């Protein structure tokens, strides 16, 4: 999965510097964090609806949209996906309950 994530991150980085008139990603960056957050929320809802619908292909497409917009958010914050991967790696082999309780505080 890392290869495609890196490719998408690269394109997002390039589009960040593009004209908002010529690039959807650039238009999101131009509209700011609230617009990007709105798109992440919208896609999360669409994932839920697609899952309830029971259409596997639709669900896969909506999850791809959610991941893409999440990568746009990370790009906006200048956080590389490698940090997310490192966090997942750190959690590997730890009970979800234990991990969640470690965040309380």
Could you report the per-residue pLDDT of 71-81, keeping only the tens digit for each?
999 999 999 99
CATH number of this structure's domain 2-79, picked from the four choices 1.10.287.1080, 3.40.50.1820, 1.20.1090.10, 1.20.5.510: 1.10.287.1080
Question: What digits encode the pLDDT tens for the residues 63-73?
Answer: 999 999 999 99
Question: What digits encode the pLDDT tens for the residues 45-61?
Answer: 999 999 999 999 999 99
Domain spans, the chain = 2-79
pTM, 2 dp: 0.87
CA 41 to CA 69: how far, in whole Å?
9
The stretches of 54-102 forming alpha helices (DSSP H) are: 56-76, 81-91, 96-102
More confident residue, 62 or 2: 62
Contacts 24+ apart (CB under 8 A), 65-74: 66/40, 68/8, 68/43, 69/36, 69/39, 69/40, 69/43, 70/40, 71/5, 71/8, 71/9, 71/12, 72/12, 72/25, 72/28, 72/29, 72/36, 72/39, 73/33, 73/36, 73/37, 73/40, 74/9
Give the side-chain half-sphere CA count within 13 A for 31: 16
């Amino acid at each position: 999965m890392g290869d495609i994530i890196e490719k998408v991150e690269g394109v997002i980085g390039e589009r960040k510097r593009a004209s908002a008139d010529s690039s959807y990603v650039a238009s999101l960056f131009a509209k700011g964090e609230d617009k990007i957050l709105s798109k992440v929320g919208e896609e999360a809802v669409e994932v839920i609806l697609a899952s309830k619908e029971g259409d596997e292909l639709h669900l896969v497409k909506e999850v791809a949209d959610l991941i893409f917009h999440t990568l746009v958010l990370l790009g906006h914050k200048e956080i590389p996906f490698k940090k997310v991967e490192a966090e997942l790696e750190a959690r590997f082999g730890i009970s979800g309950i234990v991990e969640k309780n470690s965040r309380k505080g």
